[in-house]
Amino acid sequence: MSSKPNTPLLDKVNSPEDLRALEEADLQQIAEELRSETIDAVSITGGHLGAGLGVVELTVALHYVFNTPDDKIIWDVGHQCYPHKILTERRDRIRTLRQGKGLSGFTKRAESAYDPFGAAHSSTSISAGLGMAAARDLKGGDNNVIAVIGDGAMSAGMAYEAMNNAGHLGSRLIVILNDNDMSIAPPVGAMSAYLAKLVSGPTYQTFRDAAKNIAKNLPKPVFEKAARAEEYARGFWTGGTMFEELGFYYVGPVDGHNLEHLLPVLKNVRDTHHGPVLIHAVTQKGKGYAPAEGAKDKYHGVAKFDVITGKQSKPKANAPSYTNVFATSLIKEAEADDKVVAITAAMPDGTGLNLFGEAFPERTYDVGIAEQHAVTFAAGLATEGYKPFAAIYSTFLQRAYDQVIHDVAIQGLPVRFPIDRAGLVGADGPTHAGAFDTAFLSCLPGFVVMAAADEVELRHMVATAAAYDEGPISFRYPRGEGVGLDMPERGSVLEIGKGVIRREGTKVALLSFGGRMGECLKAADELDAAGLSTTVADARFAKPLDMDMIKRLAREHEVLVTIEEGSAGGFGSHVLTRLAEEGLLENGLKIRTLTLPDIFIDHDKPDAMYDKAGLNCDGILKAVFTALGTEMLTAPQRA
């Protein structure tokens, strides 16, 4: 039963079951309303918009054709899942996306049965889906498993590892390649969609027979077109051939915005019992919202915005971002040294290497979503005397850990690791937090590990890394803006393994590694005001540690607190180990190590996250007062 125009059909759809009760003819209206609802929600919350808009029809079609949540849809990266969340019992909370205690901006198992696998890092969906398919086979079940993966995510090796394995196992698994790269997308249309439908159908024998069957009833020019389209659909197009060679049954390309094309293809694939099938859907990022369609990044990630104009409301920055300082500093170094080269794994804008690329296009490498390759590629460059800066966010560097150890560290190669988004990152939550890099790098022999206390320090660290040729070196810096300092034209080369005292005191020592320096200085003001004379030191290096400075802090103060925006096992742990070795923990020194707590902190406003972690002025004061065994000053006393 088709409803009257202008009736918001979406109001009747709380779950996919409600959706499946509708007529196929109603789905176009649902898609339109779903698109508007997604735009409206993200205009309030900010977040990933373009990717979700590109899969609206696909989302509707998948939930209509498949019996979710028994049939499992795994969204790769998960940033395109907002329409999916709206259709799967979360519409009432969609305007809490990415807010504290609200919905996650990614798929999350704890949030819903309709999210069978959590994501945020890319290219995991086929592996996870294959695992679920193998489990189903072991259990003798018959549910479907569908992995939806973007053409970008398909650039990562893991996706091919999974397909290789899927071809070998032969389990029934549906992969939907969500191809929104218009510049490489082949032409699509009714004919290729029709062929795709035929070749995915149960009556299909061989695609050549199918093409012949259609073609013999067609006039000659159409026949020739049909033959060409058939080649596109099954053989000629390299994607098809390649996927087939990996053991997948290739279907497509199909217009991912056309429900009349999508629904029969999905039904055919559902109702035939193939092994691994790949449906190649061509979509447009930002589809259906003009400001997104026209934007260079297709509104990949946006701040809150005005729906009518598309204008985003980004708060005015008081200081340049750390990302920008990194990029401009690296450009300075590269102007002076033609061996400096830069590598990004599909994040040119996020890392600032877009700016570097404009200045030095021939010395900039975007290798795709391929962090492992990026690191070993950098190692190769280093063997030939180049100075590679492999700029990878802390969270994504996790994926390349073996390459960091085996290809870089063991060979002592001077690869530079600028590590952006070090620490808590706010709305993106725990999947994107840069929590572990200090721990996983400062345990590696021969590595130099730095963290910038502010943007001037970052500039110095870029210069230091450019000058340092003896082995691997990293420097971490947080998301967001610097503190607004005057910047030197060019960075100075720091002495390796030397920290710096920022202010001298006598009773309490705060030893900071990285971006929490501002909070240390604030806490020191309060402690001084409370009669506790406080030293503040910037360690600069977690490896090698400045043991002269650290020993002096330990000997000359009653309390020593280390602060870092990273997990346990990092800077503070190394300080403790070394002080124990020196016998300096036996003389009544009261020591505390402030790190991120042993939990994954959910997405929230940065301040709330710091509060939870105890990594702010209050947290530092609390640590000092508990170490001293005295009451903490109340806010009125402090005022």
**Which residues make up the interface to ligand TPP (CB under 6 A)?**
51, 54, 77, 79-80, 121-122, 150-153, 178, 180, 285, 345-347, 369, 371, 396, 399
Q: How far is CA 44 from CA 59, 95, 97, 107, 304, in A?
A: 22, 7, 9, 20, 5
* DSSP structure string for 474-542: EEE--SSB---PPPPSSPPPPPTT--EEEE--SSEEEEEESTTHHHHHHHHHHHHHTT--EEEEE--EE
Q: What are phi and psi of 410, to 5 degrees?
A: -65, -35
State the nearest-atom distance from the C-beta of 345 to ligand TPP, in Å: 6
Q: Does the bond joining 253 to the residue before it have cis omega, within 30 degrees of 0?
A: yes
**Structure tokens belonging to residue 550:** 């650290």
User: What's the closest the beta carbon of residue 606 comes to ligand TPP, in angstroms?
Assistant: 20
State residue 116 phi and psi, 5-degree precision.
-70, -15
Which is catalytic among the residues 90, 136, 172, 285?
285
Residues present in the chain in total: 639
Selected catalytic residue, list 33, 37, 371, 565 = 371
Which of 399, 479 has the CB closer to ligand TPP? 399
Cis? peptide before 8, omega within 30° of 0: no
Nearer to ligand TPP, 62 or 550 (CB): 62
| CA separation for the pair 334, 359 (Å, rounded) | 9
In the complex, the smallest distance separating the C-beta of residue 137 from ligand TPP, rounded to whole angstroms, is 27
Closest CA to 61 of 233, 270, 243: 270
Among residues 369 and 596, whose Cβ is nearest to ligand TPP? 369
CB of 89 vs ligand TPP, minimal distance in Å: 23
- d(CA 256, CA 56) in angstroms, rounded, equals 9
Q: Is the dihedral of CA 131, 132, 135, 137 positive or negative?
A: negative
Closest CB 10 distance from ligand TPP, rounded Å: 23
Tokens read off for 534: 């406080």
Nearest residue (CB) to ligand TPP, 400 versus 509: 400
Kindly state the smallest distance separating residue 391's Cβ from ligand TPP, in Å.
12
The span from the CA of 262 to the CA of 281, in Å, is 8
Residue 610 corresponds to which tokens in the numbers above?
């710091």
Query: Smallest gap, in angstroms, from Cβ of residue 124 to ligand TPP?
Result: 8
Instruction: Pick the closer one to ligand TPP by CB: 396 or 468.
Output: 396
Integer Cα distance of 321 and 319 in angstroms: 6
Q: CB of residue 393 vs ligand TPP: minimum separation in angstroms?
A: 7
* Cβ-based nearer residue to ligand TPP, 81 or 444: 81
Q: Is 399 an annotated catalytic residue?
A: yes
> Which stretches does DSSP call E strand in 402-472?
416-419, 448-451
371 catalytic, yes or no?
Answer: yes
Q: Which of 51/86 has CB closer to ligand TPP?
A: 51
Name the amino acid, one letter, at 301: G
Q: If we measure between CA atoms, which residue out of 316, 281, 255 comes closest to residue 151? A: 281
- Alpha-carbon distance of 570 to 85, in angstroms, equals 37
Q: Which of 99, 178, 98, 100 is nearest to 146 (CA)?
A: 178
Distance (Å, whole) CA 332 – CA 463: 9
Shortest separation between residue 368's beta carbon and ligand TPP, angstroms: 8
Active site residue 260: no
The one catalytic residue in 136, 387, 399, 476 is 399
Whole-angstrom Cα distance, residue 544 to residue 562?
16
Q: Which is nearer to ligand TPP, 239 or 499 (CB)?
A: 239
Q: How far apart are CA 597 and CA 51, in angstroms?
A: 33
Residue ranges in 170-314 assigned as alpha helix (H): 190-200, 207-215, 220-234, 238-245, 259-271, 290-294
Q: Which is nearer to ligand TPP, 16 or 78 (by Cβ)? A: 78
Torsion region of 256: left, alpha or beta (phi above 0 gives left; psi -120 to 50 gives alpha): alpha
**Nearest approach, Cβ of residue 371 and ligand TPP (Å):** 6
Catalytic residues: 285, 371, 399
